[in-house]
């Protein structure tokens, strides 16, 4: 009898302790939503990262607007030469003294390139011939110049020493990770699966972007194929949160305070938003791309290999629909993108033919409201601050 009472007393007092902890946390969360492991790491005001954009869609204005607003502005350097990386970084530094993030693609040549022979190229040109004919363009010779190489681009990152270097499609080798650390550059790797997050933490990254299959742009997997790594963000965040200790940045389909709150509830310490910033006046996306992001049809996105040879998410258009079944016949990255450059103007402009253009977008594009990056930031901060 005595023993039963003791158990009763113990469980009631444990319950009491749990409730008071819960109350404290709730109070704390409401007051300090913006103070997380991630903001502590970088000394920034808000746990919001403007996603970097490759393909020439980043801009100095967007990066600096976001960093100056207290979040982390990013610049995707994927298409740039080392000289352009240095020049662009100087331009960013002229407009902000806040931390910013530069981004590269670690694996920038598909292994399949070596096997993609003349016969394969011929098959590719046959698929696209009707489109070239329609525009009155000649079929291009197989492109030889495949663009700048990651190894050279990384030397420019060492030279520029941004506060943050984020990367996708792999992990820099041990020496490069060591060099980044010794230069005081914080590293942020990107995971599409929990195994990738574990590998990134093992390599010593400072934070991990956990990116769900909702995200706009490329599926940046590196351990398994993109097709085998299509985890949604609601499943990915808690799995990654249980597996690693470093701060987690959730990405994919987050465009407003509801998304930020959900990501934090699932275990994220920050969010990375791409499409919402791409749609603003400050990004380098073409005017018709921005317009389409606000179109009711922006609900319909698709994962396609048509534009670059790697699986990526964008709005449906004529090309993605007509070539839906031909994904595996596309050339490997980056050859497919260079080939497609002949069909769509590069970088795409408003006057280039929308049938053949990539309109990158994440799955939540139809929720977008804001057309200015500063106003978007203000709205997020305002909404997050509400009880």
Nearer of residues 54 and 309 to ligand FMN, judged by Cβ: 54
Q: Is residue 247 involved in binding ligand FMN (CB under 6 A)?
A: no
Q: Say how far apart CA 188 and CA 207 lie, in whole Å.
A: 5
Choices 174-182, 321-329, 338-346, 358-366 (CB under 6 A): range interacting with ligand FMN: 358-366
Q: Say how far apart CA 80 and CA 169 lie, in whole Å.
A: 17
Provide the b/e sequence for 280-298 (b: ≥16 CB within 10 Å): bbbbbbbebbbebbeeeeb
Which residues inside 18-57 make contact with ligand FMN, applying CB under 6 A?
51-55, 57
Nearer of residues 244 and 251 to ligand FMN, judged by Cβ: 251
Whether the CB-CB separation of 375 and 281 falls below 8 Å is answered with no
Query: Which residues are CB-neighbours of 357 under 8 A, at least 6 positions away?
Result: 289, 317, 344, 348
Whether the CB-CB separation of 377 and 66 falls below 8 Å is answered with yes
Q: Is residue 211 involved in binding ligand FMN (CB under 6 A)?
A: yes
Q: Say how far apart CA 335 and CA 209 lie, in whole Å.
A: 27
Nearer of residues 160 and 254 to ligand FMN, judged by Cβ: 254
Q: How far is the CB of 168 from ligand FMN (least distance, A)?
A: 4
Q: Write the interaction track for ligand FMN spanning residues 315-334; mark x where CB under 6 A is met and - where it is not.
A: --------------------
Which residues inside 174-193 make contact with ligand FMN, applying CB under 6 A?
190
Nearer of residues 264 and 278 to ligand FMN, judged by Cβ: 278
Q: Is residue 75 involved in binding ligand FMN (CB under 6 A)?
A: no
Q: Is residue 270 involved in binding ligand FMN (CB under 6 A)?
A: no
Q: Is residue 79 involved in binding ligand FMN (CB under 6 A)?
A: no
Nearer of residues 253 and 334 to ligand FMN, judged by Cβ: 253
Q: Is residue 103 involved in binding ligand FMN (CB under 6 A)?
A: yes
- Angle at CA 192, nearest 5°, toward 188 and 195? 90
Question: Within the chain, where are the H helices?
Answer: 2-31, 37-42, 60-68, 82-95, 118-135, 150-160, 174-182, 194-202, 233-243, 257-265, 275-278, 287-293, 318-322, 335-340, 373-385
Q: Is residue 282 involved in binding ligand FMN (CB under 6 A)?
A: no
Q: Where on the chain is the footprint of ligand FMN (CB under 6 A)?
A: 51-55, 57, 76, 78, 103, 166, 168, 190, 211, 214-217, 251-254, 272-276, 278, 360, 362, 364
């Amino acid at each position: 009898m005595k023993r039963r009472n003791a158990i009763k007393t113990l469980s009631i007092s444990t319950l009491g302790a749990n409730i008071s902890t819960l109350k404290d946390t709730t109070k704390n969360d409401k007051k300090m939503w913006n103070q997380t492991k991630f903001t502590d790491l970088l000394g920034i005001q808000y746990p919001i990262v403007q996603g970097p954009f490759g393909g020439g869609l980043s801009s100095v204005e967007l990066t600096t607007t976001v960093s100056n607003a207290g979040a982390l502005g990013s610049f995707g350097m994927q298409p740039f030469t080392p000289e352009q990386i240095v020049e662009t970084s100087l331009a960013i530094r002229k407009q902000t003294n806040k931390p910013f993030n530069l981004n590269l693609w670690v694996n920038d040549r598909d292994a399949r390139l070596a096997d993609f022979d003349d016969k394969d190229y011929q098959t590719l040109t046959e698929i696209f011939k009707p489109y070239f004919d329609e525009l009155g363009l000649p079929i291009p010779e197989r492109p030889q110049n495949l663009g700048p190489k990651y190894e050279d681009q990384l030397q420019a990152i060492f030279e520029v020493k941004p506060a943050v270097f984020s990367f996708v499609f792999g992990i820099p080798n041990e020496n490069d990770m060591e060099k980044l650390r010794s230069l005081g550059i914080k590293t942020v790797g990107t995971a599409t699966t929990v195994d990738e997050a574990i590998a990134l933490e093992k390599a010593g990254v400072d934070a991990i972007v956990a990116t769900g299959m909702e995200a706009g742009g490329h599926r940046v997997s590196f351990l398994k194929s993109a097709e085998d790594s299509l985890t949604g963000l609601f499943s990915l965040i808690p799995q990654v949160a249980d597996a690693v200790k470093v701060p987690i940045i959730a990405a994919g389909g987050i465009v407003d305070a509801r998304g930020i709150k959900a990501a934090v509830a699932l275990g994220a310490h920050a969010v990375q938003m791409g499409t919402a910033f791409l749609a603003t006046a400050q990004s380098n996306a073409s005017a018709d791309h921005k317009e389409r992001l606000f179109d009711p049809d922006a609900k319909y996105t698709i994962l396609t290999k048509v534009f670059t040879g790697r699986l990526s998410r964008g709005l449906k258009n004529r090309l993605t629909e007509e070539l839906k079944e031909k994904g595996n016949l596309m050339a490997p990255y980056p050859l497919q993108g260079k080939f497609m450059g002949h069909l769509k103007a590069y970088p795409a402009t408003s006057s280039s033919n929308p049938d053949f253009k990539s309109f990158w977008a994440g799955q939540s594009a139809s929720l977008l409201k804001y057309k200015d990056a500063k106003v978007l930031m203000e709205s997020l901060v305002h909404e997050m601050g509400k009880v």
